[in-house]
């Protein structure tokens, strides 16, 4: 297991629960809305929108690539990180009611409703995700249920698009419930939503109108009338809707009638004036005819966008804080392949983190690994560290023994000579060793990658001689500069710098050329005696063999003996 990747994944998962919440609403006629509400001040904190094509016939977003593009623009405009938790509102695809036996369990009810939903033309193409609630008006042996459904493929495509941007889809709501939740939160229907008050909500959209019979905050009945609203011109549409709704309202007597228009083709005010009913009529423009915002907005919201904020967007943004009794979260469906696990909020300091069971399991495993990591590393590295320290100790003991031997020899010589100064001789030995160590350190720290040494010598009188080769003049000067910086008082000079080639033909055929150099502070640098291989070479020449050459084009052979305190280095690069 890659420990670093595991730790990174652990940190990402730990902070995932603290990511910002962002709320989106796909609102036909307007586009895609992004909103955040400050629940403490009861105001809209952030808001923007972009036009987004929505297929009213197929009840789905027309172009998912366009969805990703406009969503990226909205994140950038509001300066919100795409790494967030998204709650999404979709237009109501299907809503209805059904009566089921009290003897049926939840799984059986879900199966029966799924069979009913699949009769709709929308779900002939895609499998549905079904949600249902109890109407709380059960009588006899049956109970009345309200159900809704969305296309599973549509939700999966939206979830994949959000994941690609770095966001996580955590909730999918429907516009009908989002509207009711917004009416409750804004107080626009406070009179109607009192306990025991009967009222009707007539909502007009491009596909026709829907009538919901309510008792306080609970749904009693639902009716939908399809009308091709956009096919009518002028005031003709008001006569068509009022004529049909007039008959429908007779079956749903109530104290109040709330008319809402979600389409720019119909004014809720004009439609309310065309309806003749005994109920007290009020209207809400959720379209271009709106004259006043539903909620106060912060100064961060552009003035041109204030009247664009829809009821659906507000209802979606308060999903987590609203106590409205009706909710349809299509990601919490048991049968859905993209169901979201329940989360537990864990406070740590001033932050709160939401952790799912699977995330907790991953975190526990990674925490175990992190705790055991030092023990594992110590167990693996201890033998190596012990061996390394033992080698250093052995070397130190050897050096001590050598120094002690030198001191003993000096004492013996002093006793013999009578005038021998042991202190000065010790200082001399230490000084010579120090010069040598500094020289070796300087060379070790200064050799460029494309430069190699063939000869190195240090003398007791402070003379230093260095010979070698390089692929470029720049490397030679770099090496010379670095050595000079280390050995400040050595008075080193570049005694020799020339190209290595016996003749012009060899120079031209062996490009790039190498350069020989000598660095010394002596008048005549001491060179290692050249090996005498004339006899062997003569024998090889007679046999037709060629002298072997290394990769730099130099003739190789047995290294010559050097005097004490001298070291003959290989002509290979020192890396």
Q: What pLDDT, in 10s, does the model give residues 222-260?
A: 999 999 888 888 889 999 999 999 999 999 999 999 999
482: region left, alpha or beta (phi > 0 left; psi from -120 to 50 alpha): alpha
pLDDT of 369 higher than 50: yes
Q: How many CB atoms lie within 10 A of CB 526?
A: 14
Whether residue 93 contacts residue 121, with contact meaning beta carbons closer than 8 Å, is answered with: no
How large a percentage of the chain has pLDDT more than 90?
41
Residue 215 has pLDDT above 80, yes or no: yes
CB atoms within 10 A of CB 159: 20
Asked if residue 127 has pLDDT above 70, the reply is yes
Residue 531 contacts residue 560 (beta carbons within 8 Å): yes
- Residue 190 pLDDT level (bands cut at 50, 70, 90): very high
Q: Rounded mean pLDDT of the chain?
A: 80
More confident residue, 570 or 437: 437
Rounded Cα distance between 244 and 209, Å, is 10
145 pLDDT higher than 80: yes
Residues paired with 520 in a beta bridge: 465, 493
| Six-digit token string for 301 | 């919201």
Report the run of H or E that residue 245 belongs to, with start and end.
Answer: helix 236-249
Distance CA 44, CA 482 (A): 65
Q: How confident is the model at residue 164 (pLDDT cuts 50, 70, 90)?
A: very high
**Quick one: average pLDDT of 280-291?**
94
Mean pLDDT across 172-185: 94
Distance of CA 183 to the CA centre of its chain: 38
376-421 pLDDT tens trace: 887 787 888 888 888 888 888 898 988 888 888 888 777 766 555 6
Residue 444 has a CB neighbour count (10 Å cut-off) of: 10
234 contacts 222 by C-beta, under 8 angstroms = no
* Beta strand extents in 278-336 (DSSP E only): 280-285
First-last CA distance in the chain: 32
Per-residue model confidence (pLDDT) at position 508: 59
* Cα 513 from Cα 450, distance rounded (Å): 12
Tokens representing 5 are 């990747």
* Contacts of 432 by beta carbon, 8 Å cutoff, 6+ apart: 460
What is the rounded (10 degree) CA torsion for 290, 294, 299, 300?
-90
Query: Pick from 203, 152, 135, 134: which is nearest to 175 by CA?
Result: 203
Confidence label for 357 from pLDDT (cuts 50, 70 and 90): low
> H helices of 17-118, where?
64-77, 106-117
Burial of 297 (0-12, 13-18, 19+ CB in 10 A): buried
Tell me the per-residue pLDDT of 430-483, one tens digit each, with 9 for 90 and over.
Answer: 666 666 777 777 777 778 888 888 888 877 667 888 899 998 888 888 888 888
pLDDT for residue 37: 94
For 510-524, give one letter per residue: b (16+ CB within 10 A) or e. Answer: eeeebbbbbbbbbee
Alpha carbons within 13 angstroms on the beta-carbon side of residue 558 total 8
Nearest to 30 by CA among 291, 309, 367: 309
**Looking at the predicted structure, is the pLDDT value of residue 565 above 60?**
no
Is residue 302 within 8 A of residue 326, CB to CB? The reply is: no
Q: Is the peptide bond before 512 cis (omega within 30 degrees of 0)?
A: yes
| 143 C-beta neighbours (distance < 10 Å), count | 18
Q: What angle do CA 62, 64, 69 make, to 5 degrees?
A: 120
Max mean pLDDT among 137-151, 512-526, 561-575 falls in 137-151
Secondary structure element (H or E) that encloses residue 389, with its range:
helix 357-417
How confident is the model at residue 46, as a pLDDT?
Answer: 94
Predicted local confidence at residue 450, as pLDDT? 84
Helix locations, 96-200, DSSP H = 106-117, 152-165, 175-186
pLDDT at 545: 41
Task: Quote the CA–CA distance of 34 and 62 in Å, as a whole number.
Answer: 18
Over residues 30-37, mean pLDDT: 94
Query: Which tokens go with 161?
Result: 């698009």
Provide the pLDDT for residue 47: 96
What Å distances lie between residue 572 and 45, 449, 468, 502, 548, CA to CA?
A: 70, 11, 10, 20, 15
Tell me the H-state helices in 278-328: 311-317
C-alpha angle with apex 97: 196 to 99, nearest 5 degrees? 95
Q: Is the pLDDT of residue 81 over 50?
A: yes
pLDDT at 534: 44
Q: For position 95, what pLDDT does the model report?
A: 93
Partnered with residue 35 across adjacent β-strands are 23, 47
Preceding peptide of 305 cis, ω within 30°: no
């Amino acid at each position: 297991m890659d420990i670093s990747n595991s730790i990174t994944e652990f940190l990402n998962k730990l902070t995932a629960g603290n990511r910002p919440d962002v709320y989106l609403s796909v609102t036909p006629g307007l586009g895609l809305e992004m909103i955040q509400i400050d629940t403490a001040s009861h105001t809209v904190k952030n808001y923007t929108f972009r036009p987004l094509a929505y297929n009213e016939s197929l009840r789905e977003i027309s172009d998912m690539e366009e969805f990703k593009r406009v969503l990226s623009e909205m994140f950038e405009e509001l300066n919100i990180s795409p790494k967030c938790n998204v709650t999404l509102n979709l237009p109501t695809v299907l809503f209805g009611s059904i009566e089921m036996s009290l003897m049926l369990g939840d799984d059986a009810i879900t199966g029966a409703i799924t069979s009913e939903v699949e009769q709709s033309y929308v779900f002939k193409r895609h499998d549905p995700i079904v949600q249902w609630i109890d109407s709380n008006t059960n009588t006899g042996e049956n109970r009345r249920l309200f159900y809704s459904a969305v296309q599973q493929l549509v939700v999966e495509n939206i979830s994949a698009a959000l994941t690609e941007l770095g966001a996580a889809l955590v909730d999918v709501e429907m516009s009908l419930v989002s509207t009711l939740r917004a009416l409750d939160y804004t107080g626009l229907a406070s009179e109607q939503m009192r306990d025991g008050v009967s009222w009707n909500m007539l909502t007009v959209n491009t596909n026709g109108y829907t009538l919901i019979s309510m008792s306080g905050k609970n749904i009693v009945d639902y009716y939908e009338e399809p009308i091709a609203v956009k096919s009518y011109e002028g005031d003709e549409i008001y006569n068509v809707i009022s004529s049909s709704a007039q008959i429908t309202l007779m079956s749903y007597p109530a104290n109040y009638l709330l008319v809402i228009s979600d389409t720019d083709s119909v004014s809720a005010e004009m439609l309310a004036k065309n309806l003749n009913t005994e109920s007290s009529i009020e209207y809400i423009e959720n379209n271009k005819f709106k004259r006043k915002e539903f909620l106060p907005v912060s100064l961060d919201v552009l003035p041109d966008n204030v009247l664009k904020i829809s009821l659906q967007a507000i209802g979606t943004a308060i999903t987590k804080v609203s106590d409205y009794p009706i909710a349809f979260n299509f990601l919490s469906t048991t049968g859905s392949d993209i169901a979201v696990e329940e989360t537990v909020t864990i406070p740590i300091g001033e932050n709160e983190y939401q952790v799912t069971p699977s995330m907790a399991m991953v975190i526990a495993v990674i925490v175990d690994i992190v705790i055991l990591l030092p023990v594992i590393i110590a167990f693996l590295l201890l033998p190596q560290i012990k061996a390394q320290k033992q080698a250093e100790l052995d070397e130190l003991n050897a050096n001590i023994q050598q120094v002690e031997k030198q001191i003993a020899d000096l004492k013996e010589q002093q006793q013999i000579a009578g005038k021998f100064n042991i202190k000065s001789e010790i200082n001399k030995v230490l000084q010579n060793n120090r010069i040598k160590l500094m020289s070796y350190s300087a060379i070790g720290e200064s050799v460029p990658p494309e430069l190699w040494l063939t000869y190195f010598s240090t003398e007791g009188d402070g003379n230093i001689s260095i010979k070698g080769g390089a692929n470029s003049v720049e490397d030679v000067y770099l090496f010379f500069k670095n050595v000079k910086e280390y050995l400040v008082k050595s008075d080193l000079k570049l005694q020799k710098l020339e190209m290595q080639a016996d003749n012009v033909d060899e120079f031209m055929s062996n490009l790039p050329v190498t350069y020989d150099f000598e660095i010394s502070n002596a008048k005549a640098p001491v060179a290692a005696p050249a090996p005498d291989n004339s006899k062997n070479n003569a024998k090889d020449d007679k046999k037709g063999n060629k002298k072997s050459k290394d990769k730099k084009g130099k003739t190789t052979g047995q290294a010559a003996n050097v005097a004490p305190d001298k070291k003959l280095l290989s002509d290979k690069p020192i890396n």
